[in-house]
């Protein structure tokens, strides 16, 4: 009986990603569409990988100064730059890595292709929603923008829109997978909201004292020594009068 139930579930489960009727069924997307997603995912993968390395090494990113609006250092060291003491670029890199791996095998026929597109759909929706979350934080909470973050978020939004419009698995399956993405993003946001913010420090810069020329420095040292000799108590006392 158990074996029969398992075989029945195994026979019908792959069809959960394939719907007929008005909702549409799985149709393999074109090579142009797949390569577009691969390029977007590769760009985001490179950016998040660079941000993850610099964050783990506590280094500054290149080409993003301390401007009035564009300040990568301020954004990447804010309380929203981490989740449970881990830089947010690390899970972002893992997400895009999984999506890129799925995009490499999505052209294979059968169940493997549908599972790959299910992973791509969930990841694309998660990337798009998280991009909106962090863009809002940069604008309304942090008050500064990071060009690297904006570039990665743009790729995430583009991936999300492409999957939402194309819907390779059909409208109904895509809607279900969008719900799965929302659950994951909600857990991510809750972890950021309810976790204790990391300690922050303020770095203050002071102007260095002016360097004097050689003659001026020698004269100042001579004056300092003469003043010290005048104010220093005598080491040898004069004999009292009458002795």
Q: Does 6 map to a domain?
A: no
Per the structure, the complete domain to which residue 174 belongs is given by 29-194
E strands within the chain? Answer: 82-83, 86-87
Residue that is written with structure tokens 């909201």 in the block? 193
| pLDDT value, residue 237 | 47
What share of residues in the chain are helix, strand, coil (percent, to 5)?
A: 65, 5, 30
| CB contact set of 47 (below 8 Å; sequence gap of 6+) | 148, 151, 152, 155
Q: Does 199 map to a domain?
A: no
CB atoms within 10 A of CB 203: 5
Residue 193 vs residues 56, 79, 95, 162, 197: alpha-carbon distances, Å: 22, 10, 21, 29, 9
Give the predicted TM-score (pTM) of the model. 0.70
| Tens of each residue's pLDDT in the chain, 243 residues | 444 444 544 444 444 444 333 344 677 788 999 999 999 999 999 999 999 999 998 888 887 766 667 888 888 888 898 988 899 999 999 999 999 999 999 887 778 889 999 999 999 999 999 999 999 999 998 888 999 999 999 999 999 999 999 999 999 999 999 999 999 999 999 998 887 766 655 556 566 655 555 565 566 566 656 555 555 555 554 555 565
Q: Does 117 map to a domain?
A: yes
Q: Does 220 map to a domain?
A: no
- Residue 24, Ramachandran bin (φ over 0: left; ψ between -120 and 50: alpha; else beta): left
Of 147, 3, 24, the residue nearest 74 (C-alpha):
147
| pLDDT value, residue 68 | 66
Q: Is the dihedral of CA 6, 19, 17, 106 positive or negative?
A: positive
Of 127, 118, 49, the residue nearest 95 (C-alpha):
127
Q: How many domains does the chain have?
A: 1
Q: Does 152 map to a domain?
A: yes
- CATH number, domain of 129, equals 1.20.1440.130
Q: Does 243 map to a domain?
A: no
d(CA 53, CA 87): 10
Is the CB of residue 143 less than 8 Å from the CB of residue 70? no
Angle at which helix 111-136 crosses helix 147-166, to 10 degrees, equals 140
Q: Does 168 map to a domain?
A: yes
Strands 82-83 and 86-87: antiparallel
Residue 87 vs residues 24, 49, 226: alpha-carbon distances, Å: 40, 11, 59
Q: What tokens appear for 13 in the block?
A: 């489960």
């Amino acid at each position: 009986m158990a074996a029969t139930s398992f075989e029945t579930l195994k026979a019908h489960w792959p069809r959960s990603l394939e719907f007929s009727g008005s909702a549409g069924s799985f149709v393999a997307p074109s090579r142009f569409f797949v390569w577009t997603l691969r390029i977007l995912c590769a760009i985001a993968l490179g950016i998040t990988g660079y941000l993850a390395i610099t964050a783990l090494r506590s280094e500054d990113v290149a080409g993003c100064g301390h401007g009035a609006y564009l300040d990568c250092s301020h954004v990447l060291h804010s309380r929203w730059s981490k989740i449970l003491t881990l830089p947010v670029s690390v899970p972002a890199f893992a997400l895009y890595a999984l999506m890129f791996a799925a995009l490499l095998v999505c052209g294979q026929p059968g169940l493997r292709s549908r599972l790959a597109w299910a992973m791509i759909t969930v990841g694309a929706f998660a990337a798009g929603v998280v991009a909106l979350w962090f863009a809002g934080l940069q604008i309304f909470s942090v008050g500064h923008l990071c060009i690297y973050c904006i570039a990665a978020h743009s790729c995430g939004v583009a991936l999300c829109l492409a999957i939402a419009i194309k819907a390779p698995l059909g409208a109904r399956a895509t809607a279900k997978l969008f719900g799965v993405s929302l659950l994951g993003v909600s857990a991510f946001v809750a972890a950021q909201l309810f976790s204790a913010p990391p300690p922050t420090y303020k770095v203050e810069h002071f102007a260095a004292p002016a360097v004097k020329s050689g003659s001026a420095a020698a004269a100042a040292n001579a004056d300092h020594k003469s003043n010290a000799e005048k104010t220093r108590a005598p080491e040898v006392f004069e004999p009292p009068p009458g002795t």
